Structure 1
Amino acid sequence: MFAQQLSSTRRGARLAQLLAMEQLTAWEMSPAVIERAEHIVAELSSNAALHGRVQGRDFLLALTLDDAAGTLRIAVSDTRGECRPAIPQGQDPDDESGRGLLLVEALADRWGTEPRPPSGKTVWAEISQHGEGPKTDSGQSGSQCR
C-alpha cells in the first residue's frame, strides 16, 4: 500500500499523479495498467482539489495493490462528504468540463464512492491487472457538486 496526503491545490493534484506513477513503476505494473491509472489518478485528484476542497485541509491519495485478487485500487479522499460525484446527464458536446468521471468510468473496471467519517468521502477506482480492458460497472451515487 502507498498513501500520501497532499495539499488541495492544482500543484497537489499534479504531485499525486507523479507520485502514483513512480509507485506503480516501482511495483513493476504493466504499462497498460500504469497508463489507465495515470488518467484516473489525475482526474480524481483534480476533483478533490477543485470540488472537494476545504480551506486548510488536504486530500489523501491511496494506492493498494492486491496481488491475490489481481487488482489495483486507487482511492482519493477529501473533506467534502456532502458532495458525491456523479456523471452529468445530457451534456452538450461543446461543454469544456464535466467529462472527467466519464473518463474514470471508461478506464476503471469498477468505481464508486464511500463516506469517510466524520465529514469526508472517498472516491475509488479499481483496475484489474489481468483483464483485457475496463468494464463499465460503476458505483456512483449521491448529489453532484460543481
Structure 2
Amino acid sequence: MRFSSTPRGARLARRLVAKRLEQWGCSPEGEAYQSMVSIAGELCANAVRHGHVPGRDFRVCLTATDAVLCIEVTDTRGERRPKPRSNPCDAENGRGLLIVGMLADRWAVVAHPPGHPGKTVRAEVHTQPAESSANLPSQAPSGDRSGLRSTRRGRPGATR
C-alpha cells in the first residue's frame, strides 16, 4: 500500500493496518494486534518525519503466517538510517524506535541495493496461539531477514 508522505498518510496507514489485521481475524484486544498497530504508527510516523522526499510516497507491506505478523515500511531516504537513541525524560519525541524495540520480537533496517534509493524498516510480532487464526494468509514475510534484530519483550507469554 502506498501513502502520501504526510501526517495524514501516516494516520491512514495505521488505520488500514488495524483494519487488515481485524479482517484476518486478529482480535483488537489481542497483544499481537495492539503491538502491530502501535509499531505501524511509529514506523509510518518515522517514514514521514525522517524519510520524506517531496513528491515521493512511503509504502507499507503487511504479511502474516500462523505464527508471525510482519510489517515493512519503505521510504526513499536510504541515507537516513534510523537509530534508537536515549533522550532526556522531558523530551517530547525521539522514542519511537525504543517503543518498536519493546513491542517487536525482531526488527531491522534493510538497505536497498545500489541505484535503488531508500530503506525498509521491518518488524515482526509473534502471535500467541490463542490469537492465531485460519484467516491469516499463508504468506511468509518477504525479503532478506538476515539483519533482523531479536528484541526482548518483558511481557508474560511473549514468544521469541
TM-score, normalised on structure 1?
0.83
Identity %: 45
Cα contact 1:106–1:136 (8 A) shared by 2: no
Structure 2: runs of 5 or more not aligned: 131-148, 153-160
**Residue 25 (structure 1) aligned with residue 22 (structure 2):** yes
Q: Which structure's residues are more often strand, by fraction?
A: 1
Aligned residue-pair number: 130
| Partner deviation per Cα, 1:76-102 (whole Å, 9 max, x = no partner) | 00000011110114x211111101111
Q: Distance in 1 between matches of 2:123 and 2:72?
A: 7
Q: Distance in 1 between matches of 2:150 and 2:69?
A: 16
RMSD of Structure 2 on Structure 1 (CA): 1.9
Q: What residue in structure 2 maps to residue 59 of structure 1?
A: 58
**Residue 110 (structure 1) aligned with residue 109 (structure 2):** no
Q: 2:70 aligns with which of 44, 66, 73?
A: 73
Structure 1: runs of 5 or more not aligned: 139-146
Cα contact 2:42–2:96 (8 A) shared by 1: yes
What are the within-5 Å matches in structure 2 for residues 1-146 of structure 1? 4-30=1-27, 31-67=30-66, 70-89=67-86, 91-117=87-113, 118-130=116-128, 137=151
Cα contact 2:32–2:128 (8 A) shared by 1: no
Amino acid in the other structure paired with 1:109: D
TM-score, normalised on structure 2?
0.76
Amino acid in the other structure paired with 1:55: P
After TM superposition, what 4+ stretches of structure 1 lie above 3 angstroms from structure 2? Answer: none
Amino acid in the other structure paired with 1:11: R
Amino acid in the other structure paired with 1:120: G
Q: Distance in 1 between matches of 2:38 and 2:150?
A: 16
Deviation of 1:131 (Å): 7.2
> Is the alpha carbon distance of 1:131 and 1:100 closer, same or farther for their aligned partners in structure 2, counting shifts above 3 Å?
farther
> Quick check: which has more Rg, 1 or 2?
2
- SS class of match (1:112): strand
Q: Distance in 1 between matches of 2:74 and 2:150?
A: 22
- SS class of match (2:35): helix
Deviation of 1:119 (Å): 1.0
